[in-house]
């Protein structure tokens, strides 16, 4: 058979390599800055744009979509061409993909500090950027599927299976979770409200972890680990079983982020059950990685690349055992909203994603530049600094998490909360926050060492944009060998069928969870006293969203005595029906705010926002003085009302016409109550709207209760 000559596109791989390294340093640096702000809030320099609530989503987005995202594309573009013995389908699509993705990252880096956010975790970007993401993602998928169709290798390797699953699932997740109704060029509300929004968001959020941080990286592991170790993959049949089991089961597990919440019990239980079933499929990937290294362990001691990969795969195994453990209700009762979650995700992010990326970079760059790594010694130093960084990061965070969980729940013998002042539980873990920042510094330092090492390596070599390769073409009708022709083997040769099956597997779980929430009305009991927000409260809520308050404050009182004693009656699904978006949060660095309404006078809130330590000495919350000086922008008020009505908020027809008047009346009332306390502030300032919102929080159901119990 005639052999065809062609060229691999290394230029696109190099572009993604540089982007991975640069955004890695940036994302980790932002992480370090906010880690320092956790105990030195004044490090925001008194500027809104650098305050924790706005930088935290920048950190998560930069690390997930910029660092790991570019890492995925780097590895996919390198490995896919070689596994399929073909150049990428279209150089133009590759370039559009690359520059489009960088444009998305830059727009995130600009908009998030400006406070333009949907507040939904890892989906904070506003609707125009969401559309751009969709388009660029389609370009990536088009390029990938085109490459698969013009391949010269009949059967797709397991890495490709994972890439396919990644592409389709992320597309579905992103589109479904980002359905929002715009009110202006940079502001929108999700069509979902309250409990539905929470379920969709965590179906997305959980599977962003699954299909952005896990499946593509498993694909990369299946290519780069056997390559680096120069050993055959341990078990083909394990690949098959864990691939299908993983993608089928993963998608169901989202509700485990909402245990002991207002989510219906059945959805919570599904999340728990499927999380437990996920242990073995996840470990299948780890086993296939680690067992592939049999016979290469002597080299693991020498070779920093293999060291990085072993720690990465081990961290993956640890995180995927811990995840199901945290999905057990009894564990989650303690861990949720604490720093335990932060520790857990960083085992995955620093260990699995970080270290695997580093291993791949150290392997890839010398090969593309046809040279040796500039300094193996420096890479070894990076390995040790990085590992130490992980330990210094996660151990204090586990400690902090357990401490917080126990302190929040501790009762005295007389039946009082032992630590009724939430701040005590924060002060207690400050030393852990300091140690975590040291860990983060070490990890960042290692990454910078790697960048230097890679730049020096590149300088010492010569880069070839187009690498020559040869392979025989794929016969038009390849006879299926009977001997090896298991049904799966046949499927591996049929990318279209394979893709359809993959999509079916991942869609089932999503449909089973989300669709019943819409069909079965009884899942969300309506509460007649719950009313839509007033115009002023609505504007205040948007300020709450803009400032990223949800980064540190939950709005979800869980059904535990320790929570209802501290915060009041626990959360009912019917209370959130007008919340577009839901603001339940995922971390309590400060106390829950679901029922903050009426707990303190307006003046308390005013003073607290101006200087939190004045009302709460020792508080680690940054001051928000700009809320007092900035005039509330109400230019979209009417549009907000009409758009929210379209997605189901009960504003009467024509309410938008009188909304402004109602807003001014309410604002003047609050300004007067402040004036009575000697605080002179104009009624059109942002602080007034925020106070209005906070004072409304959780008060709607007070009419439904007797004054006994619950609400203080």
Region 606-635 residues binding other proteins, contact defined as CB under 8 A:
607, 614-617
Measured CA to CA, the distance from residue 344 to residue 58 in angstroms comes to 19
The closest of 328, 150, 165, 130 to 239, measured between CA atoms, is: 165
Biggest alpha carbon distance in the chain?
92
Q: Compute the Cα dihedral for 671, 698, 587, 212 and give only its sign.
A: negative
Of 38-46, 112-120, 544-552, 565-573: span binding other proteins (CB under 8 A): 565-573
**Residue 284 buriedness (CB in 10 A; 0-12 / 13-18 / 19+):** buried
Tokens of 359: 């291993």
Measured CA to CA, the distance from residue 335 to residue 165 in angstroms comes to 31
Shortest reach from residue 513's CB to other proteins, in Å: 13
Q: Can residue 82 be called a binding residue for other proteins (CB under 8 A)?
A: yes
Q: Can residue 682 be called a binding residue for other proteins (CB under 8 A)?
A: no
x/- mask, other proteins, residues 447-486, rule CB under 8 A, reads -------------------------------------x--
Count of residues touching other proteins (by CB under 8 A): 79
Pick between residue 302 and residue 676 the one whose CB is nearest to other proteins.
Answer: 676
x/- mask, other proteins, residues 175-214, rule CB under 8 A, reads ----------------------------------------
Pick between residue 444 and residue 571 the one whose CB is nearest to other proteins.
Answer: 571
Span 259-288, contacts to other proteins by CB under 8 A: 260, 265-266, 268-270, 272-274, 276-281, 283-284, 287
Q: Can residue 576 be called a binding residue for other proteins (CB under 8 A)?
A: no
Figure out which of the listed residues 564, 594, 666, 697 binds other proteins, where binding follows CB under 8 A.
564
Shortest reach from residue 283's CB to other proteins, in Å: 7
The closest of 622, 620, 657, 624 to 642, measured between CA atoms, is: 657
Q: Can residue 645 be called a binding residue for other proteins (CB under 8 A)?
A: no
Span 689-708, contacts to other proteins by CB under 8 A: 701, 704-708
Of 189-197, 299-307, 416-424, 446-454: span binding other proteins (CB under 8 A): 416-424
Span 23-42, contacts to other proteins by CB under 8 A: none
Of 76-84, 370-378, 395-403, 647-655: span binding other proteins (CB under 8 A): 76-84
Measured CA to CA, the distance from residue 219 to residue 80 in angstroms comes to 10
Shortest reach from residue 587's CB to other proteins, in Å: 21
Q: Can residue 574 be called a binding residue for other proteins (CB under 8 A)?
A: yes
- Collapse the DSSP code of 181 into the 3-class scheme (helix H, G, I; strand E, B; otherwise coil) and give the result: strand
3-state helix/strand/coil string of 31-53? HHHHHHHCCCHHHHCCCHHHCHH
Measured CA to CA, the distance from residue 2 to residue 435 in angstroms comes to 62
Cβ-proximal residues to 405 (8 Å cutoff; 6+ apart), any chain = 334, 335, 338, 340
Shortest reach from residue 237's CB to other proteins, in Å: 6
* 562 sits in which H/E element: helix 561-567
Figure out which of the listed residues 569, 592, 656, 686 binds other proteins, where binding follows CB under 8 A.
569
DSSP type of residue 87: -
Pick between residue 79 and residue 453 the one whose CB is nearest to other proteins.
Answer: 79
- Collapse the DSSP code of 711 into the 3-class scheme (helix H, G, I; strand E, B; otherwise coil) and give the result: coil
Shortest reach from residue 267's CB to other proteins, in Å: 10
Span 356-385, contacts to other proteins by CB under 8 A: none
Q: Which residue has the tokens 């400050």?
A: 430
Of 166-174, 508-516, 600-608, 659-667: span binding other proteins (CB under 8 A): 600-608
Tokens of 258: 């909402």
Instruction: Give the number of other Cβ atoms within 10 Å of residue 516's Cβ.
Output: 13
Shortest reach from residue 558's CB to other proteins, in Å: 8
- Collapse the DSSP code of 16 into the 3-class scheme (helix H, G, I; strand E, B; otherwise coil) and give the result: helix
Shortest reach from residue 328's CB to other proteins, in Å: 10
Figure out which of the listed residues 176, 245, 448, 451 binds other proteins, where binding follows CB under 8 A.
245
Cβ-proximal residues to 412 (8 Å cutoff; 6+ apart), any chain = 418
Beta carbons of 84 and 37 less than 8 angstroms apart: no
Beta carbons of 527 and 538 less than 8 angstroms apart: no
Span 142-171, contacts to other proteins by CB under 8 A: 153, 155, 157, 159
């Amino acid at each position: 058979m005639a052999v065809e000559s062609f060229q691999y596109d290394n230029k696109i791989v190099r572009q993604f390599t540089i982007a991975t390294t640069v955004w890695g340093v940036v994302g980790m640096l932002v992480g370090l800055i906010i880690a320092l702000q956790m105990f030195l809030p004044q490090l925001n320099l008194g500027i809104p744009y650098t305050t924790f609530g706005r930088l935290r989503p920048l950190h998560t987005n930069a690390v997930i979509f910029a660092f790991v995202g570019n890492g995925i594309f780097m590895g996919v573009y390198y490995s896919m061409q070689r596994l399929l013995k073909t150049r990428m389908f279209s150089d133009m699509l590759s370039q559009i993909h690359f520059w489009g993705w960088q444009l998305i990252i830059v727009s995130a880096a600009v908009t998030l500090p400006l406070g333009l956010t949907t507040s939904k975790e890892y989906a904070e970007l506003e609707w125009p950027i969401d559309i751009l993401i969709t388009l660029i993602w389609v370009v990536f998928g088009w390029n990938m599927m085109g490459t698969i169709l013009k391949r010269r290798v009949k059967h797709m390797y397991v890495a490709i299976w994972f890439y396919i699953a990644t592409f389709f699932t992320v597309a579905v997740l992103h589109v479904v979770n980002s359905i929002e109704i715009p009110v202006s060029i940079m502001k929108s509300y999700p069509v979902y409200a309250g409990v539905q929004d929470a379920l969709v968001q965590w179906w997305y959020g959980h599977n962003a972890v699954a299909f952005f941080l896990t499946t593509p990286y498993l694909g990369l592991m299946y290519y780069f680990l056997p390559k680096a170790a120069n050993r055959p993959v341990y078990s083909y049949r394990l690949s098959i079983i864990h691939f299908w089991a993983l993608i089928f089961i993963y998608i169901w597990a989202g509700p485990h982020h909402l245990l002991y919440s207002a989510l219906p019990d059945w959805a919570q239980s599904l999340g728990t059950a499927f999380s437990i079933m996920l242990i073995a499929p996840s470990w299948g990937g780890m086993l296939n990685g680690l067992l592939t290294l049999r016979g290469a362990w002597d080299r693991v001691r020498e070779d920093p690349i293999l060291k990085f990969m072993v720690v990465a795969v081990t961290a993956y195994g640890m995180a995927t055992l811990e995840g199901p453990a945290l999905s057990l209700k009894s564990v989650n009762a303690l861990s949720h909203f604490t720093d335990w979650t932060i520790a857990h995700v960083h085992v995955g992010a620093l260990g699995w994603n970080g270290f695997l990326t580093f291993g791949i970079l150290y392997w890839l760059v010398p090969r593309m530049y046809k040279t040796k790594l500039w300094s193996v010694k420096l890479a070894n130093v990076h390995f040790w600094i990085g590992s130490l960084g992980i330990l210094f990061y996660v151990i204090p965070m586990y400690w902090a998490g357990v401490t917080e969980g126990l302190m929040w729940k501790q009762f005295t013998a007389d039946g009082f909360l032992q630590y009724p002042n939430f701040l005590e539980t924060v002060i207690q873990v400050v030393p852990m926050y300091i140690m975590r920042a040291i860990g983060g510094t070490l990890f960042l330092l290692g990454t910078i060492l790697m960048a230097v090492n890679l730049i020096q390596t590149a300088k010492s070599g010569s880069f070839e944009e187009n690498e020559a390769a040869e392979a025989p073409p794929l016969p038009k009708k390849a006879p299926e060998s009977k001997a090896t022709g298991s049904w799966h083997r046949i499927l591996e040769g049929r990318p279209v069928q394979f893709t359809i099956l993959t999509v079916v597997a991942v869609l089932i779980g999503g449909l089973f969870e989300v669709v019943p929430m819409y069909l079965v009305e009884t899942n969300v009991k309506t509460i007649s006293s719950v009313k839509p927000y007033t115009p002023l409260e609505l504007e205040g809520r948007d300020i709450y969203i803009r400032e990223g308050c949800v980064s540190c404050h939950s709005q979800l009182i869980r059904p535990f005595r320790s929570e209802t004693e501290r915060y009041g009656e626990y959360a009912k699904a019917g209370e959130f029906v007008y919340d577009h978006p839901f603001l339940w949060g995922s971390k309590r660095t400060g106390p829950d705010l679901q029922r903050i309404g009426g707990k303190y006078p307006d003046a308390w809130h005013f003073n607290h926002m101006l200087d939190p330590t004045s009302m709460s000495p020792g508080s680690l919350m940054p001051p928000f003085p700009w809320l007092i000086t900035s005039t509330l922008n109400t230019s979209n008020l009417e549009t907000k009302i009409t758009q929210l009505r379209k997605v189901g908020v009960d504003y009467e027809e024509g309410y938008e016409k009188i909304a402004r008047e109602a807003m001014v009346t309410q604002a003047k009332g609050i300004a007067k109550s402040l004036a009575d306390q000697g605080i002179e502030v104009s009624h059109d300032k942002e602080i007034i709207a925020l106070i209005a919102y906070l004072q409304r929080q959780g008060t709607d159901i007070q009419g439904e209760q007797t004054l006994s119990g619950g609400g203080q």
